[in-house]
Structure 1
Amino acid sequence: MKPEDLQLLVTREMPFGKHKGTLIADLPGNYLAWFAREGFPKGETGRLLALMLEIDHNGLAPLLEPLRKR
């Protein structure tokens, strides 16, 4: 993980699928878990989804709030 990835979570939108247009940081946990079971997409989007899953699973999502205000 790169530190700038945290900023990307609160600025990058999901580019496809059921939640297209939703910020990655706002994706529901069950959607992130589905990707974990089925396989994350390749590239940056997959890396960010996997990171958000770990943050969500460990209850750390509130740590992203200060980054939203930038």
Structure 2
Amino acid sequence: MYFKKHMAEELPQGNPDVLKELLIYKMPFGKYKDRLIKELPVSYLEWFAQKGFPPGKLGMLLQTMYEIRLNGLEYLLHGLKNKR
């Protein structure tokens, strides 16, 4: 019981506003300009993961979307979309 309690305390708390941004933020440049970040192909996100994500908010959102796809967590976005 001690282990479970302390593990839960150590888990990072996510920011739900970041997930909401993925529903409305559009790619500002490149081949997928004006496409929502959540709709970008995984191959594009993988390319950024290899080459480096851009700085700032865009990079953070792209990296978050990459991690969501990598870990099969897309359902987190579907749940938000249904609540809008």
TM-score by length of 1: 0.91
Is residue 65 of structure 2 the alignment partner of residue 48 of structure 1? no
Indicate the RMSD between aligned Cα atoms, in angstroms.
1.1
- 58-67 or 13-22, which deviates more: 58-67
Residue segments in structure 2 that go unaligned for 5+ positions in a row: 1-13
- 1:10-64 deviation digits (Å, cap 9, x = unpaired): 1101111111111101111110010010110010000000000000011111220
Structure 1 stretches of at least 4 aligned residues deviating more than 6 Å after TM superposition:
none
The structure showing larger relative contact order (alpha-carbon pairs under 8 Å, at least 6 residues apart) is 1
Rg bigger for which structure?
2
- Structure 2 CA distance for aligned equivalents of residues 44 and 4 of structure 1: 12
Residue segments in structure 1 that go unaligned for 5+ positions in a row: none
What letter corresponds to residue 38 of structure 1 in structure 2? K
- Structure 1 CA distance for aligned equivalents of residues 60 and 66 of structure 2: 10
1:1-70 counterparts in 2 under 5 A?
1-69=14-82, 70=84
